[in-house]
Amino acid sequence: MALPEDVKTNPDFPIPETMKAWVLGDPGQLSLVDKPVPVPGRAEVLVRIDAIAVCATDLEIIYNGPPALIQGGDPFNKGFTPGHEYMGTVVAQGPGVDEYKIGERVTVEIHAGCGQCKRCREGMYTACHNYGMNYGDVDKGHRANGFTTDGGFCEYQVNNINTLVHVADEMSDEEATLVVTAGTSLYGLTELGGLVAGESIVVSGPGPIGLLGVAVAKAMGAQPVILTGTRDNRLEIGTKLGADHVINVRSEDAVEAVRRLSDGKGVDYVLECSGAPNGLNDAAKMVNRGGKICLAAFPHEEVPVDVAYLVRNNIYLYGIRGEGKTATHRAEAFMRQKRFDATLVHTHTFPMSDLLEALRYAKDRVEDAIKVVVKNEHAMGKEAEAAE
């Protein structure tokens, strides 16, 4: 591939002119097409995508549109490639890049803020005031791969160096795709209280973020860690990841159980990952007076909230978006140190050519799929060679 002179490459990593990429047409319709391989600019690298995990937000974008924002509107029929939880190998350096070497394995954050608005200067780039302002005659510098710009259901993608995280050599491709999920959980805990050693917490909802929320909370020293959910097998995984108590909300009242386990006072924190219609109101009754709630998921419809109860009990409420404040770097450190086994939430792997089947498994929870990972052909081949 002919690249500008100020873009550095390595013959050990040849770059083709075009790549296979999935693009979104009408809602729920994806097609595999040829696209030009993107070219990295200043402070950017080209990542050869090795593996990418399917996130529930990917399904929301593919079938409904928001929170994706392409050219100022819904992402349909605009040649858009979704997907955001990917990892891979640096194969080209844009102008001025020396922070990451060609051949280095990395995982990625979603958001590269504009770097110039108030929130970005505070380090809150996932709340960039110029979100989505990167189309037409307007380009404020913001990028959110898989949300406002092309994502990772393809073979190559460009990333700002601020979105990259070094990956330990011994970490598998599948585990590396989970760093951003663990980073989202860690971001929530950072906003709730930072160091939570000795503090009590409820994590509601044993999806990928909730399960890794349990793992991260335990790694940070929370005591006790209580997990609530509806599926016994997922609650069992939560126990393996560090939950001191698990509550199946179909068998017992979660609020009453949490109150009983906390001597009637409630816990210090609740990390709400279920998105259940009454999730916030239940969380308020689980937390103690002056406690904190972080919303890491959201219902699909507007729901009534007992604001008076929140006010009367001096309860603090936080909402997070994504994996802000470089939480992925801290999550990767926990995983590199083997503080928890994130691979427990990985259940299925498919080749990129079978993306539609992978999405079906994730959407319909086939075989109780939790985290489904998709790998490109070269990564599948490498894995097969290692197994021989």
pLDDT in tens, 173-190: 999 999 999 999 999 998
Supply the pLDDT for residue 193: 81
Q: How many domains does the chain have?
A: 2
C-alpha–C-alpha distance, residues 88 and 173, integer Å? 8
Query: Based on the domain organization, do 150 and 254 belong to the same domain?
Result: no
221: left (phi over 0), alpha (psi -120 to 50) or beta: left
CATH number of the domain to which 367 belongs = 3.90.180.10
**What's the length of the chain?**
388
Half-sphere exposure of 15 (CA within 13 A, CB side): 27
Q: How many CB atoms lie within 10 A of CB 240?
A: 13
Residue 157 sits in the same domain as residue 190: no
Is there a domain that residue 134 lies in?
no
Choosing from 269, 284, 319, the residue where a domain stops is 319
Separation of alpha carbons 66 and 298, rounded Å = 13
In tens, the pLDDT along 191-209 reads 888 778 999 999 999 999 9
Q: What percent of the chain has pLDDT over 70?
A: 98
**What pLDDT is recorded for position 136?**
74
As a whole number of angstroms, the distance between CA 346 and CA 177 comes to 10
Residues 162, 35 share a domain: yes
pLDDT < 70 stretches in the chain: 381-388
- Rounded to whole angstroms, the Cα distance separating 37 from 20 reads 9
Prediction pTM value:
0.93
Contacts of 229 (CB under 8 A, 6+ apart): 204, 205, 206, 210, 235, 238, 246, 247, 248, 249, 274
Query: Are 281 and 381 members of one domain?
Result: no
Query: 10 Å Cβ neighbour count for 381?
Result: 12
Contact call for residues 335 and 176 (beta carbons, < 8 A): no
pLDDT at residue 191 in the model: 87
- Answer yes or no: do 201 and 246 share one domain: yes
pLDDT digits (tens, 9 = 90+) for 44-87: 999 999 999 999 999 999 999 999 999 989 999 999 999 999 99
Structural domain including 229 reads 184-319
